[in-house]
Amino acid sequence: MNQEEAQKAITTLSTELAEHNYNYYVLAKPTISDFDFDMKLKELEKLEAEFPEVADPNSPTQRVGSDISKDFEQVEHKHSMLSLSNAYSEGEIKDFDTRVKKIIETDCDYVCELKFDGTSISLTYENGELIRAVTRGDGVRGDDVTTNVRTIKSIPLKLRGNDYPDSFEMRGEIVMPFKVFDELNAELEKAGEQLLANPRNTAAGTLKMKNSKVVASRKLDAYLYYILGKDLPEDGHFENLQKACEWGFKISDAMQICKNLDEVFAYIRKWDVERHKLPVATDGIVIKVNSKNLQENLGFTAKSPRWAIAYKFKAENVATVLKSVSYQVGRTGAVTPVANLEPVQIAGTMVKRASLHNADIINNLDLHIGDTVFVEKGGEIIPKITGADSTKRHPMFQSVEFIKTCPECKTPLVRKEGESAHYCPNEDGCPPQIKGKMEHFVSRKGMDIDGLGQETIELLYNENLAKNITDLYHLKKEQLANLERMGEKSAQRILDGLEATKQVPFERVLFSLGIRFVGETVAKILVKKLHAIEKIQTATLEELIEIDEIGEKIAESVVEWFSNEKHLQLIDILKEQGLQFKIDEKQLEGQTDKLNGLNIIISGTFETHSRDELKKMIEKNGGKNVGSISKKTNYLLAGKNIGPSKLEKANKLKIPIISEEEFLKLLN
């Protein structure tokens, strides 16, 4: 076979396989046996291996993924990926309808669709081929996950027919079917590993995996629901999606045109029941104005389109039995009660535990061990108990009393005025607090010490080798190497990691100390304002509260932490070890207060600087980059293609609009 013949054979086989794929994964009507399909795929693989010159990234063979791991490139979305505003009642849908009609001043058709509960994706097609797949990310830019998306069989790599636009974007939801999710969890359970929380998070996690072969094995699915482009065949969103179905996209057949609100409400009632029979998770209904023309007329707010709304189904509420309550002690000493339940299936996943948050919640629910309780799983991952059925309560059931002493070290618990949590005050003697503080110190966002994780900390603690943070710096190589599952190599890695902490910037050192309420952001703010530990240490409550974004709660916690002699000793020892306790001179370089106190919003695209660079410039010069326009905004820094609603709002609030050039002049 020469190259030309090979090319021909490859094209024929590819087209045939793509067609079978479509029949199987989109239409669910296969016309060939799995065996015959595999034989043809093997044949194609062989040809492609023989003639690598004619290889095609969108070949059906690419659906199996590859072992080559890949870091994802960040890509800016051509059109921001916004979310939808939510409605929880028919009343709110009526309000939506009123708002719509007020703007368009005419009647309109709505399209009702299922709201798939997965992770959103943007697919770009050019000349009928998938060229890029990007996750939502922060809405403005996301990760390029094309290689992984190619493994999803219901996403067409090449389109069918010939009446699709030359270039367009398709958006949809990537989901993991319940069946695949359950199988995965069954495997994990067998292997004694931690179980996955729900199909949504698993789908999102899978999409970001570095090995596309594993992604392929996870059998993700995708439903497409939004097409963006200039030369769409029809004005109706519904009609365009019907077309898209012909081009090879998987479009849910639950989509329906509704002429009026009564039809919308009937659709909602129907699918609130029917959805339980679907193979994938849904969490609501999306209602969209059908006409693209009217959609354009309605436009967008800063966060969402005015032409659509999501009706959220009421969270599924299931009854089960409260078996016991256990208590967990965190690194800050906060004690969290956890309900242990008779395992029950809710919203597609098995639930065994629910958080009870604090003593007030337990009291308000009037919980008794043995009670039949109602458990709800809403948008959040951790389910919550919404009530107890007192009619099913046996008189012998014991009421749940919040513990008085620490479950770990037996110290009497304290509860501060105005706070909901109980604390164990035995900071230096309570094992989970000591270990937790060390774990926090070495964590990735903290000092990021390679090879030192939860397990090793546990070992070091149990072997009496480390009872506090400073002990870590006195560890000897042989001590580490002698630990279970360790060796010379990993011991050296830890020592190198500890040595490297001397280079970690002050803001991360401050975060690592584990002061309550001083997270990454607060640590950054404190370091930027006060520059050195001595200044933070001696700052008064008033001085701290003066700082933008530092409230009373944080300020009190900082002052209290530094009033403890032991903490000052800890800092002295870490200083001796060579850790950074003042801001890096380089970071101070070029810092001015030219924009002090100014709130600036950035919108559009710019000639000479990226938005990120502009944001850094604002911050370096004492200004604040804000995300949405309000009366408090001082400038709108506008580039090309700025959103019309932002412009409108800025004009309405009389906020000065400046160009990139004018902005640079402000900084001269």
Catalytic sites, residue numbers = 115
Helix (H, G, I), strand (E, B) or coil at 492: helix
Q: Does 170 bind ligand IVH (CB under 6 A)?
A: no
| Of the residues 128, 142, 236, 305, which one makes contact with ligand IVH according to CB under 6 A | 305
Task: Round to whole Å and give the CA distance between 550 and 556.
Answer: 10
| Of the residues 54, 82, 369, 486, which one makes contact with ligand IVH according to CB under 6 A | 82
Q: Does 310 bind ligand IVH (CB under 6 A)?
A: yes
Task: Round to whole Å and give the CA distance between 388 and 372.
Answer: 6
Residue 174's region, left for phi above 0, alpha for psi from -120 to 50, else beta, is beta
| Of the residues 83, 390, 641, 651, which one makes contact with ligand IVH according to CB under 6 A | 83
Task: Report the nearest approach of ligand IVH to the CB of residue 239 (Å).
Answer: 16
> Contacts with ligand IVH in 397-436 (CB under 6 A)?
none
Q: Does 226 bind ligand IVH (CB under 6 A)?
A: yes
Angle, CA 599 vertex, CA 595 and CA 601 arms, to 5°: 115
| Of the residues 97, 173, 221, 376, which one makes contact with ligand IVH according to CB under 6 A | 173
Task: Round to whole Å and give the CA distance between 23 and 13.
Answer: 15
Sequence letter at residue 24? Y
β-bridge partners, 637: 602, 658
Minimum CB distance to ligand IVH smaller for 137 or for 514? 137
| Of the residues 17, 41, 84, 480, which one makes contact with ligand IVH according to CB under 6 A | 84
Q: Are 285 and 267 in contact (CB under 8 A)?
A: yes
Task: Report the nearest approach of ligand IVH to the CB of residue 462 (Å).
Answer: 45
Minimum CB distance to ligand IVH smaller for 313 or for 423? 313
# of chain residues touching ligand IVH (CB under 6 A): 14
Task: Report the nearest approach of ligand IVH to the CB of residue 203 (Å).
Answer: 11
Minimum CB distance to ligand IVH smaller for 63 or for 115? 115
Task: Report the nearest approach of ligand IVH to the CB of residue 85 (Å).
Answer: 8
Task: Report the nearest approach of ligand IVH to the CB of residue 102 (Å).
Answer: 20
Sequence letter at residue 490? S
Task: Report the nearest approach of ligand IVH to the CB of residue 243 (Å).
Answer: 17
Minimum CB distance to ligand IVH smaller for 57 or for 379? 379
Minimum CB distance to ligand IVH smaller for 250 or for 440? 250
Rounded to 5, what percent of the chain is helix, strand, coil? 40, 20, 40
Minimum CB distance to ligand IVH smaller for 305 or for 333? 305
Of 109-117, 372-380, 509-517, 649-657, which segment contacts ligand IVH by CB under 6 A? 109-117
Task: Round to whole Å and give the CA distance between 226 and 232.
Answer: 12
Task: Report the nearest approach of ligand IVH to the CB of residue 629 (Å).
Answer: 20
Q: Does 116 bind ligand IVH (CB under 6 A)?
A: yes
For the chain, how long is the longest CA-to-CA vector?
86
Q: Does 110 bind ligand IVH (CB under 6 A)?
A: no
Task: Round to whole Å and give the CA distance between 494 and 472.
Answer: 10
Close Cβ partners of 609 (under 8 Å, ≥ 6 residues apart): 617, 660
Close Cβ partners of 295 (under 8 Å, ≥ 6 residues apart): 237, 288, 289, 305, 307
Of 114-122, 153-161, 240-248, 613-621, which segment contacts ligand IVH by CB under 6 A? 114-122
| Of the residues 115, 141, 243, 331, which one makes contact with ligand IVH according to CB under 6 A | 115
Minimum CB distance to ligand IVH smaller for 305 or for 436? 305
Tokens of 29: 């009507």
Minimum CB distance to ligand IVH smaller for 118 or for 333? 118
Close Cβ partners of 79 (under 8 Å, ≥ 6 residues apart): 169, 228
Q: Are 371 and 392 in contact (CB under 8 A)?
A: yes
Sheet of strand 167-175: strand arrangement: 129-135, 119-126, 167-175, 221-228
Q: Does 286 bind ligand IVH (CB under 6 A)?
A: yes
Positions touching ligand IVH (CB under 6 A) are 82-84, 113, 115-116, 120, 173, 225-226, 286, 305, 308, 310
